[in-house]
């Protein structure tokens, strides 16, 4: 299936860039059709503009009611004929309409080996700090389907990263992020080939 990917991003957009590049190199049978960010100054917005992908700023600032934002997002996704939503460092919870219209069609990446170190409040450096403090010898990244609970949907793929004695949350974050840039394109490639069923 040819993927028409809608990416939602709040931060730097390095995962988004890895996906754009993989589509450009024909690794993924698909294209990034649209990018949505809740943060107009996110690096992801600049990167999307540089790649000449249409980008929308949708947030509770311009859509104060939660239904309004949900509807606006749905409209943009429909307009660009998106058939799969990819959350790449998106820091907001999706609205119920988008979740139900795109059931089993929304992916998220989490910077740890779910189900460990997931759930509400577990994001960014907090995850890596908790992993280091636990004394675990490995961490990694997980791509999973999104439902209405945090980090709870079916796990689609994982990559393991070894933790060395001198790692700290920052060095671990960098190691994990580098692997995320491989895991997202590989997973989307497998989905486009039907090797991972949604
Ligand atoms: C990644 O660590 C991802 O796991 C988390 O947010 C970060 C996004 O980084 N959900 P970037 O915006 O893709 O550079």
Question: What's the CATH number where 102 sits?
Answer: 3.40.50.170
- The strand pairing partners of 4, in sequence order, are 31
What is the whole-number distance in angstroms between the Cα of residue 41 and the centre of ligand 1? 16
Q: Which domain holds residue 134?
A: 3-193
Q: Tell me, yes or no, if 110 is annotated catalytic.
A: yes
User: What is the band of 48 on the pLDDT scale with cuts at 50, 70, 90?
Assistant: very high
pTM for this model (two decimals): 0.96
Domain count, the chain: 1
Mean pLDDT of 77-82: 98
Q: Which residues, 6 or more positions from 148, have their beta carbon under 8 angstroms from its beta carbon?
A: 96, 99
The answer to whether position 198 is within a domain reads: no
The answer to whether position 77 is within a domain reads: yes
SS3 content of the chain, % helix, strand, coil (to 5): 35, 20, 40
List 110, 128, 144, 181, catalytic entry: 110
The answer to whether position 10 is within a domain reads: yes
Q: Whose CA is nearest to atom 9 of ligand 1?
A: 89
Question: Is the pLDDT reported for residue 190 higher than 90?
Answer: yes
The answer to whether position 132 is within a domain reads: yes
The answer to whether position 177 is within a domain reads: yes
User: What is the band of 66 on the pLDDT scale with cuts at 50, 70, 90?
Assistant: confident
For ligand 1, what atom is nearest to the CA of residue 18?
13
Pocket test for ligand 1, best of 119, 177, 187 (most atoms within 8 A of CB): 177
Residues with C-beta less than 6 Å from any ligand 1 atom: 9, 11-16, 44, 88-89, 109-111, 177, 180
- pLDDT of res. 156: 98
* Residue burial 75-100, b: 16+ Cβ < 10 Å; e: rest: ebbeebebbbbbbbbbeeebbeebbe
Mean pLDDT of 55-75: 94
User: Could you report the per-residue pLDDT of 113-145, keeping only the tens digit for each?
Assistant: 999 999 999 999 999 999 999 999 999 999 999
What is the whole-number distance in angstroms between the Cα of residue 18 and the centre of ligand 1? 11
User: What is the band of 33 on the pLDDT scale with cuts at 50, 70, 90?
Assistant: very high
Q: Whose CA is nearest to atom 7 of ligand 1?
A: 89
Q: How far apart are CA 94 and CA 133, in angstroms?
A: 30
């Amino acid at each position: 299936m040819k993927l028409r990917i809608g990416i939602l991003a709040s931060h730097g957009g390095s995962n988004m860039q890895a996906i754009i590049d993989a589509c450009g190199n024909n690794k993924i049978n698909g294209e990034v059709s649209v990018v949505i960010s809740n943060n107009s100054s996110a690096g992801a917005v600049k990167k999307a503009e540089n790649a000449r992908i249409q980008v929308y700023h949708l947030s509770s600032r311009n859509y104060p009611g939660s239904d309004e934002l949900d509807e606006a997002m749905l409209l943009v996704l429909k307009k660009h004929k998106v058939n799969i939503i990819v959350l790449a460092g998106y820091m907001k919870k999706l609205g119920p309409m988008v979740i139900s219209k795109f059931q089993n069609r929304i992916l998220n990446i989490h910077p740890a080996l779910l189900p460990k170190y997931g759930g509400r409040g577990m994001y960014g450096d907090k995850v890596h700090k908790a992993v280091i403090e636990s004394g675990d010898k490995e961490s990694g990244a997980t791509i999973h389907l999104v439902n209405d609970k945090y980090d709870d949907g079916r796990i689609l793929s994982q990559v393991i990263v070894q933790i060395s004695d001198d790692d700290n949350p920052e060095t671990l974050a960098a190691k994990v992020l580098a692997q995320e840039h491989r895991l997202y394109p590989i997973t989307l490639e497998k989905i486009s080939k039907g090797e991972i069923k949604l």
